[in-house]
Amino acid sequence: MSIIEDIIGRRIFDSRGNPTIEVEVYLDDGSFGRAAAPAGASTGTYEAVAIPVPDALSKLENEVVEQLIAEDATDQESIDMLLHDIDGTDNFSNIGGNTSVAVSMAVAKAASCSVYSTDDYRVEPPERMLYRYLGNAYPRMPYPLGNVLGGGAHAPGATDIQEFLVSSIGADTIDDAVYGNTLVHKKVKKLLTDAGIVCGKGDEGGWAPQVKDSKAFEITSAAVREVSDEVGFSIRLGLDVAASELWDEKKKVYVYKDAKRTPAQQVDYIAGLVDKYDLFYVEDPLHENDFDGFAELTEKVGDRCIICGDDLFVTNVKRLQEGIEKFAANAILIKPNQIGTVTDTYNAITMAKRFGFKTVMSHRSGETTDNTIAHLAVAFGCELLKTGVVGGERIAKLNELIRIGEDIGNDRMTEDLP
Ligand SMILES: C=C(OP(=O)(O)O)C(=O)O
Ligand SMILES: [Mg+2]
């Protein structure tokens, strides 16, 4: 037993400079865990609700702490169930999904420290053992997936498609894979500069030029090709269309700067892009309620491309079940703060795996240097970890993967991807 003795919360700031909640959990044996809630910009309608930070802190202090004190931190399932009971809604709109996810992750980290605590400096620090504490006997290293260019809700005025993503899926080791992605990020900047295009960066560190999507495809696909040749392993291109942000519900069309597309045209457009640019991954190609459109696209290109639901599934087993029944998508994006606890995150991954879906652990556009998702990705066997390419709050997760790799073997990227 590792008994919770105290819990404190504080306001800190995320990578956009917005306030967020950080929680610390203290156990009776001196162990300690700290975690912070991230925040989305292109949030799905069906996500757990994040409440304002002052409210989150007061809910924590007045409704949560008292109930969790004296509980066993190593019983994660009971802790998370208790968070649901205290909240009393089905989307954490009372205590806040931001409050619950920070508490749930901090409890897991404290428990992991308690279980792995040691005075021996030759042993990994206990906080690095979180993936072991939560995981199985054969941890797997996810391929890093990150955006090198984008727009949408993360950089209004730049591309319509939210994220042009890359992943070094041919690399033998995690550090080479991370490095490959950074080289593409640099190459994209060079190709933009050579073309006379100046730009800043979006919320997640990808370049944010004010160009048409067709130009962005030209540049990112050239960058991926050139860097693959230079490093000698395959780096592939993917997208997060974040199509809910483009969808006009009244007119029933996807609105791009230079085009409007009906749902049928959108399916054909995305299928065409998959083949033209050899895309290995497309996230949210259709809006968050279009299970049938997802199914149509998956039928067309699912044999050669990962079709991943983010806003469609919101890490929620009920929505995932509907997707499985309708053959919508063949992968799920996993964002712990969309569902609010570590246990719910695990349950979504377990269901997805049971039905052959790929699982993609993910950051949010507003992040802190909290690196918990790196551990969750390894522990729960996700094939990909989507967490950007550059920027301190993104690199924090990638560097943690490299450290975990020293423990489990840096070359544990075993999954065949398309
Ligand atoms: C990470 C994403 O962005 P946000 O956090 O803004 O939802 C996403 O859409 O996948
Ligand atoms: Mg997304």
The band of 414, judged by pLDDT with boundaries at 50, 70 and 90, is low
Domain range 4-128, CATH class: alpha beta
Residue 104 assigned to a binding site: no
242 Cα: distance to centroid of ligand 1 (angstroms): 8
The CATH homologous superfamily of the domain defined by 135-408? Enolase-like C-terminal domain (3.20.20.120)
Q: What is the pLDDT of residues 343-398, one digit of tens each?
A: 999 999 999 999 999 999 999 999 999 999 999 999 999 999 999 999 999 999 99
> What's the rounded mean pLDDT across residues 215-239?
98
> What's the rounded mean pLDDT across residues 46-73?
98
pLDDT given at position 1: 75
3-state secondary structure of 143: strand
pLDDT given at position 241: 98
407 has a pLDDT exceeding 80: yes
pLDDT given at position 417: 79
Q: Are 202 and 151 in contact (CB under 8 A)?
A: yes
120 has a pLDDT exceeding 70: no
328 Cα: distance to centroid of ligand 2 (angstroms): 16
Q: Are 36 and 45 in contact (CB under 8 A)?
A: no
Average pLDDT, rounded, for the chain: 95
**Range with the lowest mean pLDDT among 14-23, 134-143, 207-216, 326-335?**
134-143
**Candidate from 154, 160, 286, 287 with most ligand 1 atoms within 8 A of CB, to mutate:** 154
Which ligand lies nearest to the CA atom of residue 308 in the structure? 2
CA 92/CA 336 separation, integer angstroms: 13
pLDDT given at position 126: 73
The band of 286, judged by pLDDT with boundaries at 50, 70 and 90, is very high
| Ramachandran assignment for 391, one of left (phi > 0), alpha (psi -120 to 50 degrees), beta (any other) | left
Catalytic residue list: 204, 335
pLDDT given at position 352: 97
Q: How is 166-226 classified by DSSP, letter by letter?
A: EE-TT-SSHHHHHHHHHHHHHHHHHHHHHTT---EE-TTS-EE-S--HHHHHHHHHHHHHH
pLDDT given at position 117: 79
The band of 259, judged by pLDDT with boundaries at 50, 70 and 90, is very high
CA 70/CA 79 separation, integer angstroms: 11
Alpha helices in 34-173 (DSSP H): 53-59, 65-68, 76-87, 97-116, 130-134
Residue boundaries of the structural domains of the chain: 4-128, 135-408
Ligand 1 is surrounded, with C-beta below 6 A, by 40-43, 153, 240, 242, 310, 362-365
Structure tokens at 329: 């998508």
Q: What is the pLDDT of residues 122-136, one digit of tens each?
A: 666 777 889 999 997
pLDDT given at position 415: 67
Structure tokens at 234: 């395959």
Structure tokens at 103: 């508490």
121 has a pLDDT exceeding 70: no
Q: Tell me if ipTM is over 0.85.
A: yes
Atom of ligand 1 nearest to the CA of 44: 7
Which ligand lies nearest to the CA atom of residue 41 in the structure? 1
End-to-end CA distance of the chain: 44
Structure tokens at 416: 């065949």
E strand or H helix that includes residue 23: strand 19-27
> What's the rounded mean pLDDT across residues 316-345?
98
pLDDT given at position 123: 63
Atom of ligand 1 nearest to the CA of 365: 5
- Give the Å distances, CA to CA, from 159 to 222, 241, 249, 293, 362: 17, 10, 21, 23, 21
The band of 116, judged by pLDDT with boundaries at 50, 70 and 90, is confident
153 Cα: distance to centroid of ligand 1 (angstroms): 9
CA 310/CA 364 separation, integer angstroms: 11
> What's the rounded mean pLDDT across residues 217-226?
98
pLDDT given at position 263: 98
Atom of ligand 1 nearest to the CA of 311: 9
When comparing pLDDT for 408 and 185, which is higher? Answer: 185
117 Cα: distance to centroid of ligand 1 (angstroms): 35
Q: What is the CA radius of gyration of the chain?
A: 21
